[in-house]
Structure 1
Amino acid sequence: MLLRIVAILFPLFAITSVGFIVGRRLRPDLSQANKLNMDVFVPALIFGALANKSFQIMEYLPLLGATVVAVFGSGLLGWGVARALGVAPRTFVPPMMFNNCGNLGLPLAVLAFGDAALAPAVVMFMVSNLAHFTFGAWLLDHNIKLSGVWRIPTVIATLGGLAVSLAGVELWQPAMLAIKMLGDISIPLMLFALGVRISESRIGAIRLGVIGAVARPAIGLALSFVLVWLIPLPERERALLIVFGALPPAVLNYMFAERYSQEPEKVASMVLLGNVAAVLFLPVALAISL
């Protein structure tokens, strides 16, 4: 079991470590690469998974509901922890709600549970991503206009993939292959970019960073255990939900905090230390779920 867990996690941390080393030594500007990933490659991955003829959204409704509860339940519990610590909820809550289900979650799902796990993992990413760009943005700025969310490429890809799936349309296989090839670029690029982004982060509040690094997976795992007990899910989806709960804060939390001037140095500490702590928490989640 230990060797299997190491074999699953090694590619993730190896590629992220390469990104970290390159980020430290070469200081590459990945802004355009990250933009291409979020505007082209990740949407292709999402659309390809949802528009696949084997994907049936109705089969994943229980998982979708469980993910919604996991995301917003984590925010509610995070709000309680923030109040107890005397920390601004707008600083602490988003990293508790929105985990790294893209950069780490998608590749981890495929490596741990096979290609068949990509579709349910994309459903979970879809829920978290949509909530982050709507509720997460509103949480940081109540005056924000959410009308532009429908122009975000990942949202467009989600709606397009769901439309194709629900309509029962089978796309031309060469076209699907081209979309899949584009989507395959996204996962290693996400991991590499994650390493570079971590190398650029600075620890500005160690105590809060450590608390956030532990609270995020602790809250997520506790909620996941309750949800898999309450909601009947297939074995693979139960395992994915447990792993989802153990994921660290998303790097996007830091980018949002910086954009809306919500104590970005504290959020950066939680993101940085949380992703480092994933070395401890993800093996535990895999040991439970495998």
Structure 2
Amino acid sequence: MLIRIVSILFPLFALTALGYFVGRRMRPDLSHANKLNMDVFIPALIFAALANKEFRIAEFGSLTVATLLLVVGSGAAGYVLARLSGIAPKSFVPPLMFNNCGNLGLPLAVLAFGDAALAPAVVMFMVSNLLHFSFGAWLLDHRIKVWTVWRVPSVLATLAGLAVGIAGIEVWPPLMLATKMLGDIAIPLMLFALGVRLTDSRIASLGLGLYAAVARPVVGMLLAFAVLQVFDLPAQERALVVVFGALPPAVLNYIFAERYHQEPEAVASMVLIGNVAAVVFLPIALAMVLP
């Protein structure tokens, strides 16, 4: 089991570590690559998964609601913990509420459970992504117009993919292949860029960072097991829910905190230490769910 877990996690951490090493030595400017990933490659990945003729959104109704409860429940738990600890909720709630289901979650799902896990993993990413770009942005700046979330390329790809899938339209195979090829760029680039991004993070609040690094996966996994008592999901989706709960804070939390001037250095510490702590918590989650 240990060898299996290491073989699953090694590609994730190897690519991230390579990105960190290159970031430290070469200081590459990945702003354009990251924009391309967010605006082209990730939307292509999402569209290809949702528009696939084998994808049936109705089959993932329970998983969608379960993921929504996980994300909202994590945010509520983060608010309570922030109040009890005297921490600014706007700084602490997003890192607990929005996990790294993109950079780590999608590749981990495929490596651990095979290509068949990509579609449900994309559904979970879709739920978290929609909430992050709407409620998450509004939480940091109440002047944000939530209904403009549809302009985000990944959201547009989600809507387009769902429309094609629900309508039963079969995309021309060469076009679908081209879309999948674009989507295949997204996952390794996400991992590499995550490593590079972590070189820009600074540990300004070690105690706060450690607190969030432990609270995020512990709260997430506890909520995952609670949710699984309510929803009768297939075995693979049950495993994905537990792993989703164990994921560290999303790097996007730091980007949002910087954009909206909400203690970016403190959030950077939570993101950096949380993603390092994933070396401990992800193996625990995988050990719980792997057959």
Normalising by structure 2, report the TM-score.
Answer: 0.99
Separation in structure 2 between the aligned mates of residue 284 and residue 230 of structure 1, nearest angstrom? 23
Question: What's the secondary structure of 2:229's corresponding residue?
Answer: helix
Q: Which residue of 1 aligns with 2:32?
A: 32
Query: Are 2:198 and 1:198 equivalent residues in the alignment?
Result: yes
Separation in structure 2 between the aligned mates of residue 145 and residue 62 of structure 1, nearest angstrom? 29
Query: Are 2:10 and 1:10 equivalent residues in the alignment?
Result: yes
Instruction: Give the gaps of 5 or more residues in structure 2.
Output: none
Letter in 2 for 1:67: T
Identity %: 70
Separation in structure 2 between the aligned mates of residue 199 and residue 9 of structure 1, nearest angstrom? 21
Q: Which residue of 1 aligns with 2:173?
A: 173
> Post-superposition shift, 1:150?
1.1
Q: Which residue of 2 aligns with 1:275?
A: 275
Query: Are 2:72 and 1:42 equivalent residues in the alignment?
Result: no
> Post-superposition shift, 1:270?
0.3
Query: Are 2:167 and 1:164 equivalent residues in the alignment?
Result: no
Separation in structure 1 between the aligned mates of residue 282 and residue 66 of structure 2, nearest angstrom? 20
> Post-superposition shift, 1:146?
2.4
Separation in structure 2 between the aligned mates of residue 157 and residue 144 of structure 1, nearest angstrom? 22
Query: Would you say the 8 A contact 2:105–2:247 is kept in 1?
Result: yes
Separation in structure 1 between the aligned mates of residue 270 and residue 202 of structure 2, nearest angstrom? 10
Letter in 2 for 1:177: L
Question: What's the secondary structure of 2:199's corresponding residue?
Answer: helix
Cα-to-partner distance string for 1:180-220 (whole Å, 9 max, x where unaligned)? 00000000000000000001110010000000000000000
Separation in structure 2 between the aligned mates of residue 213 and residue 146 of structure 1, nearest angstrom? 29
Q: Which residue of 2 aligns with 1:211?
A: 211
**1:1-290, aligned counterparts within 5 Å?**
1-290=1-290
> Post-superposition shift, 1:144?
1.2
> Post-superposition shift, 1:230?
1.3
Letter in 2 for 1:144: I
Normalising by structure 1, report the TM-score.
Answer: 0.99
Separation in structure 2 between the aligned mates of residue 267 and residue 167 of structure 1, nearest angstrom? 42
Separation in structure 2 between the aligned mates of residue 144 and residue 115 of structure 1, nearest angstrom? 37
Query: Would you say the 8 A contact 2:135–2:146 is kept in 1?
Result: no
Question: What's the secondary structure of 1:230's corresponding residue?
Answer: coil
Separation in structure 2 between the aligned mates of residue 257 and residue 127 of structure 1, nearest angstrom? 21
Instruction: Give the gaps of 5 or more residues in structure 1.
Output: none
Aligned residues: 290
Cα-to-partner distance string for 1:35-88 (whole Å, 9 max, x where unaligned)? 000000000000000000000000000000000000000000010000011001
TM-align CA RMSD: 0.5
Separation in structure 2 between the aligned mates of residue 29 and residue 154 of structure 1, nearest angstrom? 22
Letter in 1 for 2:133: F
Separation in structure 2 between the aligned mates of residue 289 and residue 15 of structure 1, nearest angstrom? 24
Cα-to-partner distance string for 1:250-272 (whole Å, 9 max, x where unaligned)? 00000000000000000000000
Query: Would you say the 8 A contact 2:79–2:89 is kept in 1?
Result: yes
Separation in structure 2 between the aligned mates of residue 174 and residue 232 of structure 1, nearest angstrom? 37
Separation in structure 2 between the aligned mates of residue 200 and residue 18 of structure 1, nearest angstrom? 15
Letter in 2 for 1:33: A
Separation in structure 2 between the aligned mates of residue 107 and residue 68 of structure 1, nearest angstrom? 21
> Post-superposition shift, 1:145?
1.7
Separation in structure 1 between the aligned mates of residue 114 and residue 245 of structure 2, nearest angstrom? 19
Separation in structure 1 between the aligned mates of residue 255 and residue 236 of structure 2, nearest angstrom? 32
